[in-house]
Chains A and B, each alone.
Chain A
Amino acid sequence: MILTQSLVNGVIRGGELALLAIGLTMIYGILKFANFSHTEFATLGAYLAFMLTTTLRINIFFSAPIAVMLTGLVAVIVDKLTFKKLRQAGSVSLMVLSIGLSICFRSSIQSIWGAQIRGYPIDLFRGMEFLGIRITPIQITILIVALVCMLIFHLLLIKTRIGKAMRATSDNLILAQASGINTDGVIMWVWFIGASFAAIGGILIGLETQLRPNMGFAILLPVFATAILGGIGSVYGAMMGGMILGIVENIGISFDFGILINIVGISRPEGIYISPSYKPAISFAILIIILLVRPGGIFGKRGDR
């Protein structure tokens, strides 16, 4: 059934969006600025994994984690060299800096690897069919990886000291500092984990589709929509928001709105569908509705943050 297939596609897309949105929402919550270069970490991670797999001939199972770690490191270095210096500068300056960085990243990636579409050297698999849905091994991998990452992160937040420190810093930076938490260390870890998750998301997107230098930029606004939908600063909100957006996007374009017209008595055999080109528009429409009705997002506070 087409709708169940869309549901499956939606959950997978939701996982990808969630992985990218987690880092974005954490940085936004703690450092109080919108990091427009966040999704470039996804692109970077994907291309680093590509380079390791093709140029150095390392198997994707090993090159992926290495690429993820490298991306996390890059994020920490970038923060030390740029964002940290402007910590006191106010959110607009930081946002503008992030826009500049995003251009730098994209252009560097393009000049190193070229503008043409690249793909990972993996074999082509016919999807498996069960219960009327088609799912490929890669999609199953994406689902499992996304779920495992979110589970690990959840355990990290609840069970570990650094997790507690992160939650404290995210709630109230000044109070956390006053309690003796090394907030600088926490921030470094937030960059590392946020960028690593984005890199994982990027590699998964690359496995499922292809690589292009603007793949991160293309997904930037849906990722922002996810973070805002879930409530800025809330990691669980990002996960939830990702799922909702992913599912709504996919069902939105496969739902035959002709059924509604049929009730009124008019019939259209070809059906009325939203064109797939409008998929991003669905995310933005939801974003606008959320901002009007509940600006704090699902897990945010009532009113503004």
Chain B
Amino acid sequence: MKNIFIACLVFLTAFFLIGNVAVNAETIRIGAIFPLTGGSAAEGQDEKMGAEVAMDEINAAGGIFGRRLVIIFEDDELRPVAGVDAVHKLIDVNKVPVIVGTFSSGVTLPVAEYAQQQGVVVINPASTSPKLREVGDYLFSVMGLDDLMGKELAKFAWERGHRKAAVLVPNNPFGIGVLENVSKTFKELGGTITTSVAYEMGKIDYRAELGRIFGKKPQALLYTAYGEESKIITKQAYELGYKAEWFGAYLTMCTSVSVPKAVEGHLGLEPGYFGPQAEHFRKLFMKKHGREPATSFSAYAYDAVWLAALSIGKAGLNRKAIKDALPIVAKHYKGATGDVTFDKDGQRANQDYSKLKYTRGKVKPYK
């Protein structure tokens, strides 16, 4: 009886191993880490869906050297610790040559640092902290960093005639990056920042922070907040009747799950996606998922996966070769999000932002 059991075990193990090897020979695997659950699940799922659209399109066109592209998706739960676990698995166990991810700078930073040490390319579609510049030559960003966003948001508020503004951001590398850049530009233009608050993530009550901000009666609130937290912040601000004009950096993220009544009239900026392939991407997305993309992050994930595939196609599976090929590929790539040429730090050089206004349940272009 025991012998039969051992025989079965050996047989199953062999079958499993052979099966795996067979699969490996047929496919090219890259990794993707997104916040599929947690405070930015809506954005993470959107990124995953955008990535899947790219994957299907690439495979429909014959794959990479005739081999099917497979993306191994991992969940970072919007938590740095979970992100690091995920990158360890993808690099140490799955041995992928390229990783697309993540979303929050607080997660992308430690993930990219490990990948940098291991010589694995990370293509970041959504994190924007200026600190990303310092990680190293294996990290590339498809989305413009917050030195650009902060500047534009401050200018937007100034153009609307506001001279006294408060700032509200999450207390993590992303939030602090936005805070620093928005404050710097607003002050340079001649405005005053009445209060700056970096809120603790993951709480269910932000009235203390709101009281601190609105106590000084700012004309405008320059803010950014992850989906679930933004929902609570805007809801409580509405209930408490605080008045000011709200300007959201990454407005679709700030309003993705908020109560429409609470964010009515909010203005903000979004990294545009109106590149040459934007409409094409939108159609493919609608066809595969049956609805419009929820945020612009799906388009950035789409471009990131395409860049990964094109680089592997050009350079093969050697990681250093991929890293060297990527900037060249990016220069010629016409993406859904526009011109993704990298600057000398591997970060996006030119980023357009759309001015938006939240009207009656949807984010619409601002006129």
Contacts and interface: CB of A to CB of B under 8 A. Distances in A.
Contacts of A254: 208, 211-212, 215
Nearest to B214: A2
Given A116-B37, A212-B204, A127 B240 contact: yes
A126 B205 contact: no
Contacts of A117: 39, 204, 228, 231-232
A2 B207 CA distance: 12
Given A124-B261, A209-B232, A210-B204, A276 B197 contact: yes
Contacts of A212: 204
B38 interface: yes
B195 interface: yes
A99 B291 CA distance: 46
B240 A250 contact: no
B37 to A, nearest CB: 7
Interface in B273-299: none
Interface string B179-204: 00000000000000001010110001
Contacts of B38: 115-116
B238 interface: yes
Contacts of A9: 207, 211
Interface in B31-56: 37-39, 41
Contacts of B88: none
Interface residues of B, number: 29
Q: Which of B39, B195, B212, B235 has the most CB of A within 10 A?
A: B212
Contact of A124 (B208, B209, B211, B239): B239
Contacts, number: 64
Interface residues of A, number: 29
B315 interface: no
A132 to B, nearest CB: 12
A273 B215 CA distance: 12
Interface string A255-296: 000000000000000100100110100000000000000000
Contacts of A304: none
A164 interface: no
A208 B37 contact: no
A63 to B, nearest CB: 20
Interface in A201-257: 208-212, 215, 250, 253-254
Interface of A: 2, 5-6, 9, 115-117, 124-127, 129, 134, 136, 138, 208-212, 215, 250, 253-254, 270, 273, 276-277, 279
23 contacts: A2-B211, A2-B215, A115-B38, A116-B37, A116-B41, A117-B204, A124-B235, A124-B239, A124-B259, A125-B239, A126-B238, A126-B241, A129-B241, A134-B240, A134-B241, A136-B240, A208-B205, A253-B208, A254-B211, A254-B212, A276-B209, A277-B171, A277-B200
Interface of B: 37-39, 41, 171, 195, 197, 199-200, 204-205, 207-209, 211-212, 215, 228, 231-232, 235-236, 238-241, 259, 261-262
Q: Which 6 A-B pairs have the closest CB atoms?
A: A276-B208, A209-B204, A210-B204, A209-B205, A136-B239, A2-B215
